[in-house]
Every structure is written in structure tokens, then in C-alpha cells.
Chain A
Amino acid sequence: MFRKTMMTLAAVALGAGTASAHVSIQVKEAPVGSTYKVVLQVPHGCEGKPTNVLRVQIPEGVIAVKPQPKAGWTLEKVRGAYAKSYDYYGTPTNEGVKEVVWSGGSLADDEYDEFAFRVYLTKDLKAGETLYFPAVQECSEGLAERWIEIPAAGQSADDLELPAPGVKLLEATGGH
């Protein structure tokens, strides 16, 4: 019994651990057709060096991006055209923020911080799939950590060395 318990614990610990080992998103599930706050957790620098820049790419189908400013960091919103027009509470939207960049800060390797932005997950996104927000950590001495790998069909994020942070999409909650 004791042995079995320990093994169960170990298996769970391993499974849960790998999911949060890298730059990741705090709330891992969200319904489509809703406003969602993406919180990126940065657990370490690059090879021991402090993080100076965090960039995150906004995937297609994610609109109305509003980043949360951070003291000590310069915020930049890179705008661009979407691949198609999305419906935002009745308003057709065909361009917006496609990349968010926090720069000019310094987050030491032995410190932890969070970077947040609010988005609207359009109903064009498919429930059941995982939506990825590729993120790049740029550090001093030209080092970088790129959390940009998206699992191919049949692959899991655990197979990847540099998995992009992702959020599992749920069915839209019925009406308002």
C-alpha cells in the first residue's frame, strides 16, 4: 500500500511538474467566445542570466488584446492585420495587436514574475484544442530562451524541449 501510494505520488508529481517547468500560462483552461486573462509565468532567466525582454506572439483568432503595464518595463504593442475578420460582440474586427513586448526590465534568474494581458477568444477557435502563445525570453549577453515549439500531430508538449505556453480551449458557455 505504502509503496503503491508513493508510486502514484511520484507519477503525479512527474506529470504535473513537466507541465509547469517552462514559461507557462497560469490558468490553463478557458472557454471560447469569452474574455480571458493570459498570465505568463517566468520562472527563470536564460542559463543563469537575467531576463530583459519578454515577447509573446498573439495567435490568430485571439483579438482585443490589452496588455497590463508593468512597473520597470516598457510595453510595446505590435499591431497588424488579421488573416480574416472576427466578430467582437457584433463589431467586425480585422486588425489589432499581434505581438506584445515587455522590455527594459531586469528579472534575475533567481526571481519569479508574471506578465499579463487580457484577450478575447473568438468563437472561430475550436474548443478541445490547445491554443499556444509562443513566448521569447531575451536575456543579457545576447542569450535567449524561446518557448516557441508547438507539438505536431501525435506529439505532446512533454516531448518538446521548448514548448510554447498553451491554454486548453473549452466549449463556449451558453449565452450571457
Chain B
Amino acid sequence: MKNSVRGDHAFMALLAGIVWLCLTSIAMAHASLTSAEPADGAVVQVAPQRFSLSFSEPVSPLALKLVRPDGQTLALDTFVLRDRTLEIEPPEGLSPGTYVLSWRVVSEDGHPVAGSAVFSIGAPSGAAPAVTEADDWPVRVALWIGRVGLYAGLFFGIGGVFASFWLLRGSDRGGACFAVVIVVGLAGTILSAGLQGLDALGVPLSGLFDSIAWRAGLGTSFGRTVIVMTAALLLAALATLPRLKPWGHWLACVALLAGAGALALSGHASAAAPQWLTRPSVFLHAATIAIWIGALLPLAKAVRDGGTGAEEALRRFSLFIPYAVAVLVVAGLVLAVIQVEHPAALVETAYGNVLLVKAGLLLVLFALVAVNRWLLTKPALAGETTAVRRLLRAIVVETVLVLAIFAVAATWRFTPPPRALAIAAAQPASFHIHTDKAMADVTISPGRTGPVTVSAIVMTTDFGALDAKNVSFVFSNPAAGVEPIRRKAFKPGDGTWQVDGLVLPLPGTWTVRLDVLISDYELARLQGEIAIRP
């Protein structure tokens, strides 16, 4: 028994030796792909009837896979070998989109070789830009209410106090009313900070009692808005105190400027470029709304009370407000143009829809204002009681409309503007690779699935220029079963190496390797990983 085992070992060692000697004396070659059908990078109009891969040597397949546009991997089991060509039967019913045909074969030298051919049926699948928003409805509704409260505080509260001093000459019109809206504004503003934090952290409403949410909320750009707005509301409240009346004009003025400035400190519109235009536009838009809308409540009270004060106030209102409204409209239009970019986005995006609704309500409001201005103001000034009553009713309706507009505008908190959607979708993904031979900064734009441009700056390890002879990019996604996709880069002339028209079919972590030929005999392989968005 023991002998037999030893005999086996000896026999096998001898056999192995003979085989090894035979094999090493034969010069063998590894296989390389000579053509693929559909070709790598091809866009075909209809689903191909067959796939074929031709190699420089006879091969046998180890694994053949088709990665579908939805990321699912199908094993391709039906194939025929004809000389050096592998003919594969594609699965039935391939829908339009980008596919990856990944192959791993072994040639006669026993060395596995792998690669991928990316092709698209119809057109490359470029997934729609997905901006994921946490759909935590309680938090969203609370945020919305907070935002409406903030607007009410700024426009009715601060605006009202400002109007009572500057349009109504400090007559105390609506003192109690102001107190209520300012408190509402303070509550809305301060609560918004915590809610903003919940939204940022993706925590449910119950997390509001945790200081982390508040710190997170104040840490965002909206935190500055909260702080400045709170200060503005407090200033407006101070202005209404009888003891501070001599300073009331100035307190109200500063409160108005601070309140409008607070809105310019954060939000979609303020964040848009060009900042020199958007921030002042937001400021002017907010300030003029406050001047106009703020005047409604005190004015209604003055008109109801009657007397010379009312007459005076109404006259001033009619005189100055058209200018404020003109500025308001111009600033609003500037922001709308910057945010919406293309008229089609008005219909296609949620942001555009909100803008349309808001504009519609605004038109109704303006119609009402025009009626007031040209039909009711003069008879009311003349003291006609029916005109006064109708004017009052009209102001109440205006106020309700304005509240509706605030409510609509507050939903913008949840709808990224088309500009931001386009920027988010186009955002490149980039990363840095550092090896002991060379370094590279690689940018994939846009950093999401679909057709992309890959660009790299190749440097020496001390950030010096590296004049490479050529550069290739090798993309693979082992987790999704995508074998290496190789592309030779070209020099567009700005010192970078570039590959155009590569289609990245799947999101997720991709392995990117740069093969940098530093000189005839020196090759650096730089490898890194990058996350590709859906």
C-alpha cells in the first residue's frame, strides 16, 4: 500500500516533468481579440441576430456574459466555435439601451484573457438625472409650513412694520396684528433650522428633539438665513414698542434690509451663478415684496378707520408701490430666466410647474391690484363708502392671494430648479491616483452612466510634467461582471489625455486603470476606483 502511493508520486512527477519539457519547448502565443460584432462602442439600430468574437488564436470560452442596461447579468451559454471565431446566440428580446458583452477565454497557452465590448441598441442609455430626495412627508410638510411661516413673518410682519412707519407715518396701524405675524415668523424661522437639519440628515420628525438636527441645520447655508432672519424679526418687534418709537423708522428699515438679505443668504436662487446678479436679485425681490405686501394690512386698517390718515396713506401707497412692484417683477424675471434656462423646463420640471402656478396667481393678483388702483382708489379717497367697502374687500382678497403665492413659493424648497438638475447631472466624477512611478488626475464627465468623456492629467510623482508616449484607459466593473473595456486616449492639445464617446453602462464602483507609456521601455499602470452615479 505504502509502496503503491510512493509509486504514484514518482509516476506523476515524471509525467509532469515530461509535459513541462514538451510545453516549454513549444513557443506559444496568447490570444488577442481581433474583431467583435457588434464592435466595441457600436450603436446598432436593431438587436443583433448574433454576437461574434474573433481572436488571433483558437480559444475556448470560460465565461461569456451579457450585462443588460438594467445591470442584470445574463450568462451566454449558446455558442459555436468556428476556427478562431466564437459565434454566440444572443438572448431574445433585447430592448434598446447599452449592453456589455464580457468575455473570458483561455487560449492554447492556458492563459486566460478577458475583455468587454460595449454596444448600444438604438441609442446609448443615458439614465435620466436622478436627484434623490428623501420622501419623509411629515418632515417635508413641516418644512413647508415653517417656510410659509417665515415668509409671513418677513412679508406681513417686517414689511408691515416698515409700511406703518414709512407709508403711514408711524401711525400705529395693526400693532397686535404685527405681534402675531412676527411670532409666527419667529416660530417658522427657528423651527426651520431644526427641520432643515432633519432633512439634511434624513432623520424623521421625532429627531427634532435631538441637538444634532439643530446643529446640522444651522451648519448649512440656511443656518445663516435663520440667524439673520431671527434678528430681523426681533428688530421689527422692537420697532413696534412705544418706548422705542423715535427709532422706529430706522429699526424698521434695518429689519427690512436684514430680512431681505437673509433670504439672499441661502436657497436655490441665491446659489445660482452669476452670484453678483442672483444674490442682489433675491434681495431686491424679497425687499420689494415686503414693502408692497407689508403695506396691505396697515392700509386695510387705515382705510377702515377712515380719516385723513387713510387718505394720505392710500395716496402714498398708490404713488410708491408701482415702483416697488416694477423692481419686484424685474428681479423675479431675472431669477426665473437663470433658474429655468429653457422654456420647455417650465412644463417638464416640477420647479417650472411651481413657477407657472405662481405666475398665474400673480397675474390674478395684479389684475385685482389694477382694479383697486384705477377703479376704487379715487372714489375711496373721495370718501365713497361703497368704494371703501369694496376696496377693503379687495385688500382682504389680495392678502389671501398673497398667502397662496407664499404657499406655492414655499414648495420650491423641494424642487431643484432645472439649472441645478442640469448641473447635478453634468457633475463630473474625478479622482487622483498616486503610484511610485507617476500620478494622474482623472475626470469622468458627466460622472454618471451613459456616454462620457474621460480625461486625465498625467504627472510625475513630484507634480512635474510627464510627457507620456501614449496612454490607455481600462475600465472594469468586477462586481457587475464587466471585464476590462480598453480605450486608447488621444491628446486634445491642452496637456490632457482624453477618451471620447465611452459609454459606461452601469452605475456603481468602477475600476479605472491608466496604462501610461512613459518611455519606450517604461510602462506605469495607475489604478483607482470611482463611483459612477446612476
Q: A20's contact among B8, B12, B109, B521, by CB below 8 Å, is which? A: B109
Q: B523's contact among A9, A13, A41, A146, by CB below 8 Å, is which? A: A146
Distance, CA A41 to CA B34, complexed state (A): 22
Distance, CA A112 to CA B28, complexed state (A): 10
Report the minimal beta-carbon distance from A94 to chain B, rounded to whole angstroms: 22
Q: Are B12 and A5 in contact (CB under 8 A)?
A: yes
Residues from chain A with Cβ under 8 Å of B8 in the complex: 1, 4
Tally of A interface residues using CB under 8 Å: 33
Residues from chain B with Cβ under 8 Å of A136 in the complex: 520-521
Distance, CA A15 to CA B17, complexed state (A): 12
A-B pair count, CB < 8 Å, reads 79
Q: Are B56 and A44 in contact (CB under 8 A)?
A: yes
Given A13-B110, A18-B109, does the pair A47, B34 have CB atoms closer than 8 Å? yes
Report the minimal beta-carbon distance from A166 to chain B, rounded to whole angstroms: 14
Q: Are B15 and A8 in contact (CB under 8 A)?
A: yes
Q: Are B111 and A148 in contact (CB under 8 A)?
A: no
Q: Are A48 and B56 in contact (CB under 8 A)?
A: yes
Tell me the chain A residues, 122-170 only, with Cβ under 8 Å from chain B.
134, 136, 146, 148-149, 162
Residues from chain B with Cβ under 8 Å of A48 in the complex: 32, 34, 56
Distance, CA A91 to CA B56, complexed state (A): 48
> Which one of B18-26, B334-342, B386-394 is at the A interface?
B18-26
Q: A19's contact among B15, B24, B34, by CB below 8 Å, is which? A: B24
Q: Are A24 and B27 in contact (CB under 8 A)?
A: yes
Q: Are B20 and A16 in contact (CB under 8 A)?
A: yes
Query: At the interface, yes or no: B16 with Cβ under 8 Å from chain A?
Result: yes
Distance, CA A109 to CA B55, complexed state (A): 12
Residues from chain A with Cβ under 8 Å of B487 in the complex: none
Query: At the interface, yes or no: A71 with Cβ under 8 Å from chain B?
Result: no
Q: Are A12 and B16 in contact (CB under 8 A)?
A: yes
B binding-site residues for A, Cβ under 8 Å? 8, 12, 15-16, 19-20, 23-24, 26-30, 32, 34, 56-57, 108-111, 517, 520-523
A binding-site residues for B, Cβ under 8 Å? 1, 4-5, 8-9, 12-22, 24, 28, 41, 43-44, 47-48, 55, 57, 109, 112, 134, 136, 146, 148-149, 162
Q: A12-B23, A17-B28 are in contact. List 4 more A-B contacts (CB 8 A).
A: A8-B12, A13-B19, A146-B520, A148-B521
